[in-house]
Structure 1
């Protein structure tokens, strides 16, 4: 007879995500996970695999739950350029928020910590960035078609610039004590859309 799990795997994954997000991959040991999740090492391995597999699952969960609400505005019908501006400003506000400063963005953190040498983590980061770039590009194409964005602007190049800006805002926001730094950068970049 199979034993039933004595823990909620979904809640455990969310708890692991929070720990990895706050501490990073290398600074989180299996002993830390056992203690933080409140479940045994064997149960972690049986449910999620090794530490790396658990980290990738946590990264997938983050990607499914954190950026989509930020980016929903880019797909809504109507004026597109105000939506692009709102998303960039929201990234800046999030980056400058005291509560986010400690953790930053899990995707951006992963890019910096694991991206150069972990193919699976880098692939997930790239998928997240492609998603942001694609939605931003589509919104800018719509804006151009609706006469909101000048015809001489390149929507693809602008989308890429905004992606790099938004990720940079997240990096700078983690350590900067001056919220104006990220807000000023965002506003300056948005002048390229005029």
Structure 2
């Protein structure tokens, strides 16, 4: 039938997400995106718009895939903030260990290439990070942390999450990554107050 798409749009978006995840925005050329999705340029542009729009749709797909896993892990109840950190980072380690996806994290890769992104994409990346941070803060408060402590622990947990993604791309072993996560969780009550 004329005008009807002859491919699975959701699968093409999943594949585009993996290209951005593997290469980052700057290195995810249109050639890599067409090769990765199996679509021609006209189908890619006609379905998803320009590269920046496709990137933001890929970020949304990433969030729809992984953020519910973080939300479930944080839903608790958790006996203390250390347990919140451990639950959150367990999701990270499981994603990193998944052989079906690239090393690291699409959101971390995108934050690392922040200057290469257009303002709308920069805002999307920051909003996603802020959303995860807010999710962590709520869980920290539910586990007994006061407001300032919850905010500090959430920030440090997000930073640990991002560092795990970077270390995984650099070839650090699962055991080494687990050591980082375990120590972050065990130190969750000893975050020094600035000043």
- Say whether residues 1:57 and 2:52 are aligned partners: no
Partner of 1:183: 178
Alignment of 1:144-155 (within 5 A): 144=144, 154-155=149-150
Please give the alpha-carbon distance, in whole angstroms, between the structure 2 residues aligned to 1:139 and 1:152.
11
| Contact 1:101 1:173 (C-alpha < 8 Å) held by counterparts | no
Please give the alpha-carbon distance, in whole angstroms, between the structure 2 residues aligned to 1:38 and 1:190.
42
Unaligned residue ranges in structure 2 (runs of 5+): 190-195
Deviation at 1:93, TM superposition (A): 5.2
Partner of 2:153: 158
The answer to which of 115-124 and 9-18 deviates more is 115-124
Unaligned residue ranges in structure 1 (runs of 5+): none
The answer to which of 45-54 and 27-36 deviates more is 27-36
The answer to which of 121-130 and 133-142 deviates more is 121-130
Alignment of 1:27-176 (within 5 A): 27-77=27-77, 79=79, 81=81, 82-92=83-93, 94-95=95-96, 97=97, 99=99, 102-113=102-113, 115-118=114-117, 119-144=119-144, 154-176=149-171
Give CA deviations for 1:99-157 in whole Å, capped at 9, x if unaligned.
Answer: 389431011011112x124222322221221121111111111111xxxx5x6971111
Scaled by the length of structure 1, the TM-score of the pair is: 0.81
- Counting matched residue pairs gives 187
Which structure has the greater CA radius of gyration? 1
Q: CA RMSD in A?
A: 2.8
- Say whether residues 1:17 and 2:21 are aligned partners: no
| Contact 1:70 1:87 (C-alpha < 8 Å) held by counterparts | yes
